[in-house]
Structure 1
Amino acid sequence: MKSTLEECLDSIICKINSSNGQKVYEGLKELDKLFYDLCILANPNNTSNTHRRSRSSSPRSSSTEYNSPKHRYSKSSSSISTSTSSNQSYRYLYSPAMSSTSSRSSYSSDNSTPDPEPNINVTSVTRKWKIPTPKDPIFGDFISLQNSFEYNMTTHLLNVLRSSINSSEQNSNLDPVRTSLLLKNLQACLLLHPQSRAIFGKPYNLMLLLDLLNSTIDSDIVIACIPALVSAMVRNVKVIRTFEDLMGPKIICDLLKTKAREDSVRSRQNQKRKLEADKELENIREVQVKVLEFLFFYLIPEAPAATGTTQKTPKEKHGIDGIIRRSTESKMKILNHYLNKEVTDSLVKELMESKPFGDMNICW
């Protein structure tokens, strides 16, 4: 007999694999809502939920609701409500590229495994992300199902993305709302289930994301794609090396330079349509911010410096898995092929001075 969560995921999978675009969107919204419900259960007293409304009045309410076997909704808990802002709803799972590598919340219990992600010291209200385990009272059932082929949502979402790209005459015809929501859900899956990141070690899977990073794609899609790409790469050196093999650094840097050129060109072309131009320029600048955040993440050294010495981390060294670990210096040389050296130097200087990822004494 299937659990409630399995039935919920069955409904979602059926819809997102439909040939009907509206059905696909409904399935993506149901998955989005599932993540939200789990976050609310894990953080019922979160200050971001100050403004509340009844679950039944939520426009994102679906016919399929998830009652965790370990944490079922009771009459008293059925009024758990949603934030009035969909962006606030996912401030923990769907955060910008830099913060999503550490993310925000301690969803797992105190006796869960230590945080394997980089420690990021930001504001006092930011908490360290701990990846939930199968024993987690809220996320555990979902995590366990992700280990199965049938219910691995990363695989299903990639199939939907591949189908959407193949059915479009050009990637520029992709539905920005539906594709952005798919990418946000993908990011959540990868943060909750790091094992799924291995899927992107295969070039044809990672290329699906890289194909979305060009100036012909709607800015909203690009903005959602970059954090998803970070979530696929964090602490997975095989995916990072695949990213490099596919000319990922060039794609990212070209995107930054292309958007910078368009910033000045479009502002002149759209003077008669000021509101539209302002919105477009806002999106372009947000893309630039996302790209810069990605570059900060990419420049993280993948192996710690030798202890007891002042020697810098070696340019490259191999891990026990035989995969190269690059230092910041090694990655700088890669980026210098596509960016002005002064730009790269400035990025590294900011990374070392502000230390958004802590001391970065980490080993991937």
Structure 2
Amino acid sequence: METLLSHSFDYLSSPSPQKIRKGLRQLEGLLAQICMSRSQTPVANKRHSMLALGSTPSTVSPKKLGDLPADPAYREFFKLQQSFQWNITMRLISTLERLLGKESNGTHDLLVIQTLELIQGILLLHSPSRELFAREIYMNLFLDLLSPECCPAIQSTTLLALVTSLLDCPANTRTFEALDGLLVVTSLFKSRTTSREVKLKLVEFLYFYLMPETMAPKVTTSATNTAVLGGRGREIAAAFDRRRETINNAVQGQAKDESGKTRTMEEKQNILGKYLDNVQDLVEDLKEGGGPFGGGL
């Protein structure tokens, strides 16, 4: 796995769009191998399967999330992501920064979208990497990509990646708020030039933002890391705890205790009300189960 990551990182650091695309595809293939299980078609049905699909007699299906910690490939992946050298999120962030520095065109827009989709996947598979977005410099990338000048596809994909970065990370949400992220989101929603598809994504994001915040206790996180990584789990988890403290201290304009503070729905409602009218309607809809993911409160 280290060899594959090394080759992918080399491609991502290239100025060539073709090589960047190749590096992104290699990472997509790695995630596919981790997330998908391959099962063999029974011998009796092998001929029928090959005729029907025109491919190999094996099929792929998503692995259950609860089964991933027991999977050797996922355990190796998680272990590598705990290392700064092999952390994929950091490399994708660097790639995104370089792409944003280039002239916008169809090719670069597709690479930006592909990079954002990979960031979303990585943050779901390796939650400690979300802590990177407690830093203003990285959260600002998402806000830059919500600019009206960006195409609707980039805006929609950015909103999904942004939601993933905020999951169970109050410090990240505080950074988002400190950078006037709500102003960026609501301004985009009010703009007449914003597409209907993006506005629907923005409403979903606001529903998500209004939900009460929770943060898993450290003991739960350590136990999970130990289960995934084996005996060295506690040691690696402790290293990321130290990293979390460093990141929180680096958040500009916020005290350490404030960066990890959770907010209630009522508190968020008051904050969002400064930028958007009829927030109460969103809250009522959310409580009645009309919000994102089909769940009420």
Fold match by TM threshold 0.5: yes
Residues 214-233 of structure 1 correspond to what in structure 2 (within 5 A)? 214-233=147-166
Match of 2:266 in 1: 329
Q: For 2:96, which of 127, 136, 161 is the aligned residue?
A: 161
Residues 204-215 of structure 1 correspond to what in structure 2 (within 5 A)? 204-215=137-148
The AA in structure 2 aligned to 1:191 is: L
- 2: distance between equivalents of 1:159 and 1:197? 15
Gaps of 5+ in 2: 42-51, 216-254
From the superposition, tell whether residues 42 and 252 of structure 1 become closer, same or farther in structure 2 (CA, over 3 Å).
farther
Deviations 1:213-246 (A, max 9, x none): 0211011111111110111111001000000000
From the superposition, tell whether residues 235 and 44 of structure 1 become closer, same or farther in structure 2 (CA, over 3 Å).
farther
From the superposition, tell whether residues 322 and 205 of structure 1 become closer, same or farther in structure 2 (CA, over 3 Å).
closer
- 1: distance between equivalents of 2:158 and 2:40? 29
- 1: distance between equivalents of 2:128 and 2:161? 15
Match of 2:196 in 1: 285
Match of 1:38 in 2: 34
Deviations 1:261-304 (A, max 9, x none): 126xxxxxxxxxxxxxxxxxxxx221111111111110011259
The AA in structure 1 aligned to 2:206 is: L
Match of 1:257 in 2: 190
Structure that is richer in helix per residue: 2
Q: For 1:149, which of 84, 96, 109 is the aligned residue?
A: 84
Match of 2:9 in 1: 13
TM superposition shift of 1:172: 7.5
TM-score (norm 2): 0.74
1:243 partnered with 2:176: yes
Name the SS for the 2:4 alignment partner.
helix
- 2: distance between equivalents of 1:248 and 1:297? 14
From the superposition, tell whether residues 12 and 80 of structure 1 become closer, same or farther in structure 2 (CA, over 3 Å).
farther
Gaps of 5+ in 1: 46-50, 56-75, 83-91, 93-104, 110-131, 264-283, 305-317
Match of 1:350 in 2: 285
The AA in structure 1 aligned to 2:154 is: I
The AA in structure 2 aligned to 1:35 is: L
Aligned length: 246
- 1: distance between equivalents of 2:190 and 2:259? 34
From the superposition, tell whether residues 172 and 292 of structure 1 become closer, same or farther in structure 2 (CA, over 3 Å).
farther
- Of all paired residues, the percent bearing the same amino acid is 30
TM superposition shift of 1:251: 0.6
Match of 2:118 in 1: 185
Match of 1:296 in 2: 207
- 2: distance between equivalents of 1:153 and 1:222? 22
The AA in structure 1 aligned to 2:146 is: L
Name the SS for the 1:324 alignment partner.
coil
Residues 62-141 of structure 1 correspond to what in structure 2 (within 5 A)? 79-80=58-59, 106-109=64-67, 132-133=68-69, 135-141=70-76
TM superposition shift of 1:255: 1.0
TM-score (norm 1): 0.61
Name the SS for the 1:41 alignment partner.
strand
Residues 53-68 of structure 1 correspond to what in structure 2 (within 5 A)? 54=55
From the superposition, tell whether residues 12 and 253 of structure 1 become closer, same or farther in structure 2 (CA, over 3 Å).
same
Match of 2:21 in 1: 25
Q: What's the Cα RMSD here?
A: 3.0
Name the SS for the 2:262 alignment partner.
strand
From the superposition, tell whether residues 320 and 205 of structure 1 become closer, same or farther in structure 2 (CA, over 3 Å).
closer
Contact 1:172–1:217 under 8 Å retained in 2: no
TM superposition shift of 1:358: 4.7
The AA in structure 1 aligned to 2:202 is: V
Deviations 1:162-198 (A, max 9, x none): 1111233xx6788221110100000000000110011
